[in-house]
């Protein structure tokens, strides 16, 4: 049985990735290294804690002694590095935790993986490292890195560390960069779950500025398929964009959510724009489609319907985040 290490597996994308692998890859054993910060939700994987193919390891990816011991004691066939501080607003308030987790944590993991000759290393990154687009065009893997906020700057730094380890040490690192994810188990500070939660409670939903910031939306299960494809088939040293192919201004998305929830648009409240707010993201999928045969399978209409349905049926999950009880016992 192959053994892989996933970092940050109690987060939104990480937990969905683990569930996808447990369901579709029975020959895998998964070790999940997670620090259990505020965004690491134990409820996300509560129902697989008894699965013999899954092990949760509480720890910080920036803890060099822990990471060294973990990789020394276990033979890993691959590492998928998803652990990261990711909320832009929090990074604007204080960037230090982002540097420690996203930059130092990546460097610590790279050092240990290099020492123990891990044969595959996937760095899960973001389209935000490219900065902001104008009204037309798409980012490709050759687009220059131009991060505009502290969060995206730390992710760009981590990407460059990975590139340097490939060039310098011939380490088998591959990088994926995704567009905005949505779907079940997303922490409720992010746009879609936040607005669903507020709308269900008839609270005002805050929209930054004029609400015309455009994002490309990717259903999280499609992203998980993409990550597994890149991890298995991606060429070392290469970058692969994983986009959803659905661009939409935030204001249009909010109005769509309110309509789906049968709530009035009067709940929308425009608030001052945040500093360094990128105007538009869009990712070209040509490379991953051409070289690896991946493309999104879930339409935005289908994915949004499934997402709304999940949050409707799991309001206790949302409420546990709101009152902080989701981390009790951990």
The token duo for 227 is: 């990550």
Q: Is the pLDDT of residue 325 over 70?
A: no
Q: Which of 31, 34, 85, 127 is catalytic?
A: 127
Considering the entire predicted model, what is its pTM?
A: 0.94
CATH superfamily of 2-327: NAD(P)-binding Rossmann-like Domain (3.40.50.720)
Give the tens place of pLDDT for each residue, 170-220: 999 999 999 999 999 988 778 898 889 888 889 998 899 998 989 999 999
Q: Which of 128, 159, 221, 247 is catalytic?
A: 128
Return the pLDDT at 330. 45
Return the pLDDT at 40. 78
Q: Tell me which of 306 and 134 has the higher pLDDT.
A: 306
Return the pLDDT at 263. 93
Annotated active-site residue 281? The verdict is no
Which among 89-98, 173-182, 313-322 has the top mean pLDDT?
A: 173-182
Give the tens place of pLDDT for each residue, 9-37: 999 999 999 999 999 999 999 999 999 88
Annotated active-site residue 127? The verdict is yes
Confidence tier at 324 by pLDDT (50, 70, 90): low
Q: Tell me which of 298 and 329 has the higher pLDDT.
A: 298
Return the pLDDT at 276. 79
Each as own residue / partner, the long-range contacts of residues 286-289 (CB below 8 Å, 24 or more positions apart, any chain) are 286/140, 287/140, 287/141, 287/240, 287/241, 288/226, 288/229, 288/230, 288/240, 288/241, 288/242
Q: How distant is the alpha carbon of residue 92 from its chain centre?
A: 19
Confidence tier at 168 by pLDDT (50, 70, 90): very high
Q: Which of 54, 76, 130, 151 is catalytic?
A: 151
Return the pLDDT at 329. 46
34, 14 Cβ separation under 8 angstroms: yes
Return the pLDDT at 248. 92
Mean pLDDT of 259-279: 90
Which among 148-157, 195-204, 311-320 has the top mean pLDDT?
A: 148-157
Return the pLDDT at 323. 66
| Mean pLDDT (the chain, rounded) | 93
Q: How distant is the alpha carbon of residue 234 from its chain centre?
A: 19
Annotated active-site residue 128? The verdict is yes
């Amino acid at each position: 049985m192959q053994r892989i290490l996933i970092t940050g597996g109690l987060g939104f994308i990480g937990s969905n990735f683990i569930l996808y692998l447990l369901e579709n890859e029975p020959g895998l054993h998964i070790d999940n290294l997670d620090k259990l910060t505020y965004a690491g939700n134990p409820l996300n994987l509560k129902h697989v804690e008894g699965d013999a193919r899954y092990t949760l390891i509480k720890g910080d990816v920036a803890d060099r002694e822990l990471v060294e011991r973990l990789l020394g004691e276990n033979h890993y066939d691959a590492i998928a590095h998803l652990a990261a501080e990711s909320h832009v607003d929090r990074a604007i308030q204080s960037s230090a935790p982002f540097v420690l987790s996203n930059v130092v944590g990546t460097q610590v993991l790279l050092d240990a993986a290099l020492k123990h000759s891990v044969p595959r290393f996937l760095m899960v990154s973001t389209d935000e490292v490219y900065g902001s687009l104008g009204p037309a065009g798409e980012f490709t893997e050759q687009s220059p890195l131009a991060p505009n906020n502290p969060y995206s700057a730390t992710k760009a730094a981590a990407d460059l560390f990975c590139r340097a380890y490939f060039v310098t040490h011939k380490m088998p690192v591959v990088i994926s960069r995704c567009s905005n994810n949505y779907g079940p188990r997303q922490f409720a500070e992010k746009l879609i779950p936040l607005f669903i939660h507020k709308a269900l409670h008839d609270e005002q939903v805050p929209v930054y500025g004029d609400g015309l910031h455009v994002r490309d939306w990717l259903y999280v299960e499609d992203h998980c398929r993409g990550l597994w494809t890149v991890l298995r088939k991606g060429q070392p040293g290469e970058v692969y964009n994983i986009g959803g192919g659905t661009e939409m201004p935030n204001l249009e998305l909010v109005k769509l959510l309110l309509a789906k929830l049968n709530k009035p648009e009067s709940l929308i409240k425009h608030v001052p724009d945040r500093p360094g707010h990128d105007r538009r993201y869009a990712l070209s999928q040509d490379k991953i489609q051409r070289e690896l045969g991946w493309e999104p399978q879930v339409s935005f209409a289908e994915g949004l319907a499934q997402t709304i349905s999940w949050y409707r049926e799991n309001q206790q999950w949302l409420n546990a985040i709101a009152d902080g009880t989701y981390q009790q016992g951990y």
